[in-house]
Structure 1
Amino acid sequence: MENFVIRVKTKLGQQVVDGLSATDSVFNLKAKLAELTGIRSDALHILSGFPPKVLELNNENVTLKEIGISSGSTLIVEEKPTICCNGTEKNEIKSRPHISDTENFTNTPGILMKKIVPADNSCLFTSVGYVISGQINPDCSSFMRQIIANAVAADQSEYTEALLDKPNDVYCEWILKSDSWGGAIELSILSKFYGIEIAVVNSVHGNINRFGEDQCYSHRVFLLFDGIHYDPLYIEPLDGGPIQTMFPTDDDRILIEAAQLAKDANSSRQYTDVQTFTVKCMECNIHLSGQVAASQHAKETGHMSFGEIVI
Structure 2
Amino acid sequence: MLRFRVRLPKGKEPVSMDLDGTTTWGSFVQSISSLTDVPCSQLRILSGFPPRPVEVGDGAASIASVLPGGGNVIVQVGEADVVKGKTEGRYVPPVDGKWHFVRRVCPSDNSCLFHAAAYVLRNKSRVDGPSLRKECADIVQAYPNVFNEKTILDRPNREYVDFIRNPNAWGGAIELMVLSFLTQTEIVALDLTSSNVLHFGEDNNYTVRAYVVFNGQHYDAIAMNPMFNSPQESEDQVLFSSTDAEVLNRARRFVADEAKKLRLR
Amino acid at match of 1:245: V
1:195 to 184, 195, 216: 184
Q: d(CA) in 1 for partners of 2:111 and 2:194?
A: 22
| Structure 1 position 121 matched with structure 2 position 110 | yes
CA contact under 8 A between 2:144 and 2:157: conserved in structure 1? no
In structure 2, the partner of 1:228 is: 217
The amino acid that maps onto 1:64 is P
Give the equivalent residue in structure 2 for 1:274: none
Shift in CA distance, 16/118, structure 1 to aligned 2, threshold 3 Å: farther
CA distance in 1 between counterparts of 2:100 and 2:106 reads 19
Q: Is the 8 A contact 1:121 1:179 kept in 2?
A: yes
Q: Secondary structure at the match of 2:96?
A: coil
Q: How many residues align?
A: 211
CA contact (8 A) 2:139 2:182 kept: no
SS of the residue aligned with 2:43?
A: coil
Q: What corresponds to 2:134 in structure 1? A: 146
Q: Alpha carbon RMSD of aligned pairs, Å?
A: 3.8
Q: Residues 187-221 of structure 1: CA distance to partner in whole angstroms, max 9, x if unpaired?
A: 00100110111001111211211111111111111
Once the two structures are superposed, residues 11-43 of structure 1 have per-residue CA deviations (whole angstroms, 9 ceiling, x without a partner) of 56997975564798779832xxxxxxxxxxxxx
* Cα pair 1:199 1:208 within 8 Å, conserved: yes
1:9 paired residue among 4, 7, 10: 7
Alignment of 1:65-104 (within 5 A): 65=40, 68-69=42-43, 72=54, 74-75=74-75, 102-103=92-93
Question: Cα distance, 1:181 vs. partner?
Answer: 1.0
- CA shift, 1:115, in A, is 0.7
Deviation at 1:229, TM superposition (A): 1.0
Q: Which residue of 2 aligns with 1:64?
A: 39
Larger proportion of strand: 1
1:117 Cα deviation after fit = 1.5
SS in structure 2 of the partner of residue 209 of structure 1 = strand
Q: Residue type matched to 1:197 in 2?
A: E
Structure 1 counterpart SS, 2:42: coil
Contact 2:117 2:129 in 1 (8 A): no
Alignment identity in percent? 24
C-alpha deviation, 1:264, in angstroms? 3.1
Contact 1:206 1:265 in 2 (8 A): no
- 2:65 aligns with none
Matched, 1:256 2:254: no
Q: Deviations over 1:38-89 (max 9, x none)?
A: xxxxxxxx5xxxxxxxxxx3xxxxx833x62377484269xxxxxxxxxxxx
Q: Please give the alpha-carbon distance, in whole angstroms, between the structure 2 residues aligned to 1:213 and 1:70.
A: 20
| In structure 1, C-alpha distance between the alignment counterparts of 2:91 and 2:167, rounded to whole Å | 32
Match of 1:253, as an amino acid? E
* Corresponding letter in the other structure for 1:145: R
> Is 1:201–1:209's contact at 8 Å kept on the other side of the alignment?
yes
Q: Give the corresponding residue for 2:169.
A: 180
CA distance in 1, matches of 2:153, 2:185: 23
Which residue of the partner structure matches residue 235 of structure 2? 242
CA contact (8 A) 1:26 1:64 kept: no
Q: Which runs of 5+ in 2 are unaligned?
A: 46-53, 56-73, 78-89
TM-score normalized by the length of structure 2: 0.65
Secondary structure at the residue paired with 1:231?
A: strand
Evaluate the alpha carbon distance shift between residue 149 and residue 236 of structure 1 in structure 2; reply closer, same or farther with a 3 A threshold.
same
